[in-house]
Amino acid sequence: MIATLTGTVGEKLADMVVLDVGGVGYGLFMTANERDRLVVGDTLKVYVYENIKEDAHNLFGFTKLDTKHLLEQLLKVKNVGPKVAMSVLELGSAQDVRAAIAGGDVKRLQSAKGVGKRAAEQIVVELRDKVGLQATESAEDIVTRSGLDMADDAVQALIALGYSEVDATLALKNIDTALSTEERIKLALRSR
């Protein structure tokens, strides 16, 4: 596993930086905020996150360890991959992103490329208490705001299937309550 790399900034490309380390050029995906501050020829130390898949071996570089840790937290959220996580990190500094998550700022998170309302809500629900800032809204407030009744048979069925109250509520949030309980459960399970 590659934890850090120290070398010379060789090239700045559209979404990546080539870091020359002992004659080897490592292509590192970086946020635009970090890429813009780099100067070709400068010496740079980056913290590396490796994403190894069947068909790719991608390296993501960060000048601050805190930002790398935030990427790792984002990747633990259901349906958030490296591209979406990097888009969220493009919103500002790691502290700004943490503040948006802890504050439940779904609209701000949605403004990241490739992040829809559901993904933004999922990020808030799963990370708001884990990003190291005081959350301003509890998960129960999200459940209450959704307008669904916790005694609803569809909500209770999803909870029995292993969903948390918040996840069950989010899954049913946009499904017509006029449908039968069985239909609502099926649609919620398909959207997962």
When divided into structural domains, the chain yields a total of 3
Does residue 132 form part of some domain? Answer: no
Token pair recorded at residue 11: 């090239």
Q: Which domain holds residue 36?
A: 4-62
Token pair recorded at residue 184: 């609502």
Least confident window among 34-38, 119-123, 173-177 = 173-177
CATH of the domain at 55: 2.40.50.140
CATH of the domain at 89: 1.10.150.20
Statement to judge: residues 186 and 175 lie in one domain: yes
Does residue 156 form part of some domain? Answer: yes
Does residue 88 form part of some domain? Answer: yes
Q: What pLDDT, on a 0 to 100 scale, did the predictor assign at position 9? A: 96
Cα–Cα distance for residue pair 16/36, rounded to 1 Å = 11
Nearest Cα to Cα of residue 34 among 112, 92, 109: 92
| Bridge partners, residue 46, by sequence | 5
Quick one: pLDDT band at residue 134, thresholds 50, 70, 90? very low
Q: What pLDDT, on a 0 to 100 scale, did the predictor assign at position 192? A: 59
Quick one: pLDDT band at residue 123, thresholds 50, 70, 90? very high
> For residue range 95-111, what is the model confidence (pLDDT) as tens digits?
889 988 988 888 999 99
Cα–Cα distance for residue pair 62/43, rounded to 1 Å = 14
Does residue 133 form part of some domain? Answer: no
Quick one: pLDDT band at residue 149, thresholds 50, 70, 90? low
